[in-house]
Structure 1
């Protein structure tokens, strides 16, 4: 629905999920001695102030406070270490920035209290709002004054104005915060340098395009056409139109799924299209009456759509079913989720109201009266890191007491059987130690101090103090397939032992390839023994380690005609392997020679080719085999050939050289003769 002040043309709004992460600077737990000075702790950053609590105020630090913690003199007059736990939480969950088209201001709502804490004068006819990723700046596109107001979010005041040429609509900040993109409604996409607040480039786009979505790495912008039937994909690196997707009708908005794989496009055909964001192909459609602006939950499970100007429709994206219709104020023209996704802020022009929806039970929990004609196109809710920051200060007594400390929880690991996993790590510290620190990994895991040599158990030597010694943990190559977890035990004489819990990790099967050997035989012969080769055994294993050996089979039988027959392989079983089967071929040959006579052999006792083997002769039991030397003397004679010649005469080896053979058959069917060479 149009903002009431704008009469040039109808346009609708897409906003983009953009959470602003305010991460505290890295905190390290500390171990200090009585009457020593602690290290300052800095965790307030960006627009998010922090409140902290201390459960041991006796160490010289108050029980609570705000902002950073300066150095202080630690106190411990007991005989045992005092471990103080300091927990810091953001003072606010974030802020909602609501533009007012009539009053030319941006109202700032603290989303902790839902109270308006500031009203900031901006340009004429503000409509589009975008917050920088660090939450430090807010960019406001002013429709009437043709400029962009840059707000310092800490001071809640305008610090720069970027003058452009025409009425402005949608505005977006790149994920790295270095560029600002704004739609000039004369038909341009303008790129602004966020560091210098100057115009960098412009690109001609369809004049009826007002809304854009940007992917996670900032390389692509998606621009639907409100009155056309296409959606343009902009390459931000080259500032060119990279692709055009056909969407069949005018589009009010488009929004990407969190992983960037799907693009949701609201259309004037009473549908939301679900497209493959890479190629623009249609995956499915969702029927919604007059869909307008949209956003997707951070987990990608739900789509929120304003409908018919006075409703918010919630779609379950696992099956595209509508799970709720929530009535809001008329002319709902903007909506934005909080960082944790627990609340949805919806702007209604009629009644000048922002509705706050609890996304857990899909009910309105608050209505905030804002100005005269609120209208924020974009991602207008910033977010502070809602997770707490917890660290410890251990104050040792004057009497030295050994203590151990670990920092940095280990992460879940995974690998295939036979291959060690990539390691995770934690830091080990200790003070007043009198003996080595002993570490013992739970079953299936190994530990290391150098990321090269891994052991089930190891000792860490020291001179009384250990500061941030990195310990690496991995799944062992010999860990069999299954789930693994447990406590890594850390101990040293006189110090409290630590059981560092390793989260559930997994070993999946290795890939074992079984390739059948191809064979051949002649017709009317029995099949040879079927065999296979194995590739991929690990840990020195062999086929004997399989639960069940593979089954090898073929359809070729004694009377099968000549041809090739597949040798199939299947049904191998093992806990630790997945199987890749490669079948072989059994070639049945049509003609079988009477005998296959080799022309040499080497009876040297090495076990290789020591006998003059004549293939196929074993079935001719009445044949006569004779061997002569060069003088014509017979040195071997046999009826049948069940015992092949071993290269001897009268029990002694014959000299190396050429000999002659003659094979006759009693039926006179053939006479075979020729020479044979005896080798060393």
Structure 2
């Protein structure tokens, strides 16, 4: 188990979005609530339409937080070792993969009840969905062979529509809803496969760096997929129009990646648990590193495109874990917030500009 030839018209298109700027925000992010939890939080997702936050805690509990009141309103029992979640904001359905069971739990976001549990494979972990087609894609593996699948779950019928065979280990899944293309990294073959969402057939597979286990950063404005390579010293960039790869040399292994589509900046971290790391800022127009920053050992990194604030959490075994907030352009640190012990899983609600960070004993709510 794991612990993403240019013509004149294209140049003009790039220029049109490149001048966009995030809104000016003079307020400093601040902690507005601390919500106690019974067990360490391992994963968080949000439905910005309903303002509900879903988080995993303990061995098999899924809890629901009301973003308006900051109160936990429901807790559900899941399958064995719940791993990842995906939210369909159009249907208000939450999909949770249970690794050991090889199942997906389908949850009604209105009633906070499990509608059904669907068997998808021997083991499963990564999940992503296309809200326009109402299809859910789940990476499944076998413990007895090197054969694997990406199972396609129909959100209308809650039945498996197709199994897309993979040789190796399908890892992360990214979806471009505009083009209905699905991008699946393979950590055994060090490739990314491009799937046509209309037929759910693999169109091509292209070579990237070693161990592309980190969820890529998708920029639909520039038609680029940035793939961090955990065991290579370069970041791979997939041109979504040509399906061709070019690499950006970083000189370090990578641990996380995020992007701000408004400023067209990509942030790649190279951080370790026990030593300080490095963050690289890539100009998406030039696809080259324009700045670097020394960072602590990080457990999570995200950016708020509306405010251009970059949030980086630090891993600590004891004591409060600091969360540093940087200006995404100048890389000036504007705030240090003290979170709960062993904070890691972090998510942004883009509608409210609230950041939720889960830790060992609390969820911290930050107003950006």
- Into which bin does the TM-score normalised by the smaller protein fall? 0.5 to 0.7
Shift of 1:317: 2.6
Is residue 249 of structure 1 aligned with residue 249 of structure 2?
Answer: no
* TM-aligned CA distance change 1:312 to 1:217, over 3 Å: farther
Shift of 1:298: 4.1
Is residue 259 of structure 1 aligned with residue 239 of structure 2?
Answer: no
Aligned to 1:502: none
Relative contact order, higher structure (CA 8 A, sep 6+): 2
Aligned to 1:191: 194
Shift of 1:205: 1.5
User: Contact between 2:260 and 2:308, CA under 8 Å: does it hold in 1?
Assistant: no
* TM-aligned CA distance change 1:240 to 1:215, over 3 Å: same
Give per-residue Cα distances to partners, 1:140-182, cap 9 Å, x unaligned.
2224462112222344443322111111111101141511000
Aligned to 2:172: 170
Query: What is the alpha-carbon root mean square deviation over aligned residues?
Result: 3.9
Q: Given the alignment, which residue of 339, 345, 361 partners 1:326?
A: 339
Aligned to 1:299: 306
Shift of 1:265: 0.6
Shift of 1:257: 0.4
Aligned counterparts of 2:290 and 2:217: Cα–Cα separation in 1: 19
Give per-residue Cα distances to partners, 1:283-326, cap 9 Å, x unaligned.
44444432244332241433344543886835243534444243
Aligned to 1:340: 351
Aligned to 1:407: none
Q: Given the alignment, which residue of 101, 104, 117 partners 1:103?
A: 101
User: Contact between 1:220 and 1:236, CA under 8 Å: does it hold in 2?
Assistant: yes
* TM-aligned CA distance change 1:107 to 1:173, over 3 Å: same
SS at match of 1:259: coil
Aligned to 1:222: 226
Aligned to 2:148: 146
User: Contact between 1:130 and 1:172, CA under 8 Å: does it hold in 2?
Assistant: yes
SS at match of 2:255: strand
Shift of 1:191: 0.6
Aligned counterparts of 1:313 and 1:118: Cα–Cα separation in 2: 38
Shift of 1:112: 6.3
* TM-aligned CA distance change 1:315 to 1:121, over 3 Å: farther
User: Contact between 1:258 and 1:296, CA under 8 Å: does it hold in 2?
Assistant: no
Aligned counterparts of 1:324 and 1:135: Cα–Cα separation in 2: 40
Give the paired residue count: 275
SS at match of 2:232: coil
TM-score, length-normalised on structure 1? 0.35
User: Contact between 2:300 and 2:346, CA under 8 Å: does it hold in 1?
Assistant: yes
Q: Given the alignment, which residue of 186, 206, 209 partners 1:206?
A: 209
Shift of 1:280: 3.9
Aligned counterparts of 1:114 and 1:325: Cα–Cα separation in 2: 31
Shift of 1:96: 4.2
Give per-residue Cα distances to partners, 1:533-576, cap 9 Å, x unaligned.
xxxxxxxxxxxxxxxxxxxxxxxxxxxxxxxxxxxxxxxxxxxx
Gaps spanning 5+ residues in structure 2: where?
4-42, 51-87
SS at match of 1:164: strand
Q: Indicate the structure (1 or 2) with the bigger Cα radius of gyration.
A: 1
Shift of 1:209: 2.1
Gaps spanning 5+ residues in structure 1: where?
4-14, 23-89, 362-680
* TM-aligned CA distance change 1:91 to 1:209, over 3 Å: closer
Shift of 1:2: 4.2
